[in-house]
Structure 1
Amino acid sequence: MSKIQAKPSILVVSAHAADFVWRAGGAVALYAERGYHVRIVCLSFGERGESAKMWRQTGMTMDRVKAARREEAERAATILGGTLECFDLGDYPMRVPDEALLRLADIYRELRPEFVLSHSREDIYNFDHPLATHVAQEARVIAQAHGYKPEVPVIGAPPVFLFEPHQPEQCNWKPDVLLDISSVWEKKQRAFTTMAAQEHLWEYYTRVALQRGAQATRNSDRKIQYGEGYARVFPMVSEVLA
């Protein structure tokens, strides 16, 4: 049994290099501290749509932007306790060939994740985001299919949680899970600072975390300072309702 298989795992499928930091960095840090192996798959470096600050520099090239965004994402993942894997599928537009889809299905089979985190199913501001979550969920279905690589055991049915888009109201996204990330907020905030190409978002996502924390407090009997919101895709299966 590999070291990855020897402990529980979770999978995060991020469209771009920074998405997992803003939207799921707290969950990554929280579960890494709990001993989980956290694999973060970035489908794109965000080299066009999320790198405007870099493109304003004289003499900037695509290779330099990609290298910088990869370095930022790797440093953020290390701070949070996750392991980063980059697919480099392009950006604006991002296109996902079958090889990449099956590569992700193989990661599901390797990790056998306890749950999966990815984007909202709608985003009128960024078409790469719903594409990423579609790919994450299609790969999950392939990894469940007995006819796909029958020599490799299929996975079960890991729950899928959709993290918060930048403008949730316009994306028809509503949280039904509020995760308390107060204990790992300092790590998430440090991971923010690696994303120099999007410094304008540091304060915004701090406000989001405070707001979700306030909502979590209102919906519990605890004082919660920082939170992350998630929407479930599949019903929760349980023997109790509490």
Structure 2
Amino acid sequence: MQRTALVISAHSADFVWRAGGAIALHARRGVAVTVVCLSYGERGESAKLWRQPGMTLERVKADRRKEAENAAGKLGVADIQFYDLGDYPLHVTEEALCRLVDVYRAIHPSFVLTHSREDPYNHDHPVATDFAQHARIIAQAHGHKQGEKVLGAPPVFLFEPHQPEQCNWKPNVLLDITEVWDQKRAAIECMEGQEHLWEYYTRVALQRGAQAARNSDRKITYGEGYENVFPHVVSDLIP
């Protein structure tokens, strides 16, 4: 069976900045990656679009969706879904929760990527993380939709927030994304509504790459950092 992965993104650009390298890397290795965007980031993360005369909420949503779809194509995403739950604030509904549980059960991801547990600058991000974890727990429940194959225990990795020190986020996984950096940068440049972040996340990738090289015996230029939620279960300690 083809391996799968699930990325749960609060806004339509988050998966690009924070996990684009992991997505492209695993897609290149044959993993079918599903991305769920809970909102378009139409209110709080689309300032450039709102400065245009006559802009409307629906036009902003449409532009943000197009950007995300273009970026997903650059990264090799197998499926991208948009829940349109609003942002600033993000409104999590029971219907959306059940929908995400169904996604877990449908694809049985090998791993899950989502936001940090804390973010005092953007409450939507920890809301998305809680939402992702809640759905994972329900998908593991034998009493939920009896007869379906229950979810196992896919590892959950929390990708890097914009200001990690303020979010109590500490990376304990450093991923080498050097071989797919060109794809990630191309996806970043699809996010035209937030052009001011292009160079910021390039610098982040270089910094994590330098740290990854320091913590290994490999030449690494670009990296991504993740915080592992659950313990890894291993047969030996040889990396």
1:107 equivalenced with 2:100 (yes/no): no
Q: CA deviation at 1:34?
A: 0.3
Structure 2: how far apart are the matches of 1:220 and 1:92?
40
Match of 2:50 in 1: 55
Structure 1: how far apart are the matches of 2:126 and 2:4?
23
Q: CA deviation at 1:38?
A: 0.2
3-state SS of paired residue (1:228): strand
1:168 equivalenced with 2:172 (yes/no): no
3-state SS of paired residue (2:225): strand
1:21 equivalenced with 2:16 (yes/no): yes
1:129-148 map, 5 Å: 129-148=125-144
Match of 1:80 in 2: 75
3-state SS of paired residue (2:36): strand
1:33 equivalenced with 2:28 (yes/no): yes
Match among 189, 192, 196 for residue 188 of structure 2: 192
Q: CA deviation at 1:194?
A: 0.6
Structure 2: how far apart are the matches of 1:35 and 1:26?
14
Q: CA deviation at 1:32?
A: 0.3
Match of 1:3 in 2: none
Structure 1: how far apart are the matches of 2:177 and 2:60?
31
Per-residue Cα deviation, 1:130-157 (whole angstroms, up to 9, x for no partner): 0001100100000000010012110100
Structure 2 residue identity aligned to 1:68: D
Structure 1: how far apart are the matches of 2:32 and 2:186?
20
Structure 2: how far apart are the matches of 1:88 and 1:68?
13
In structure 1, stretches of 5+ residues that fail to align are 1-5
Q: How many residues align?
A: 237
Structure 1: how far apart are the matches of 2:125 and 2:56?
24
Per-residue Cα deviation, 1:42-82 (whole angstroms, up to 9, x for no partner): 00000001100000111000000000000000000011001
Match of 1:215 in 2: 211
Structure 1: how far apart are the matches of 2:200 and 2:226?
18
Q: CA deviation at 1:241?
A: 1.3
Structure 2 residue identity aligned to 1:230: Y
Q: TM-score, normalised to structure 2's length?
A: 0.98
CA-atom RMSD in angstroms: 0.5
Aligned-residue identity in percent: 68
Match of 1:96 in 2: 92
Q: CA deviation at 1:164?
A: 0.2
1:172-183 map, 5 Å: 172-183=168-179
In structure 2, stretches of 5+ residues that fail to align are none
Match of 2:59 in 1: 64
Match of 1:203 in 2: 199
Match of 1:12 in 2: 7
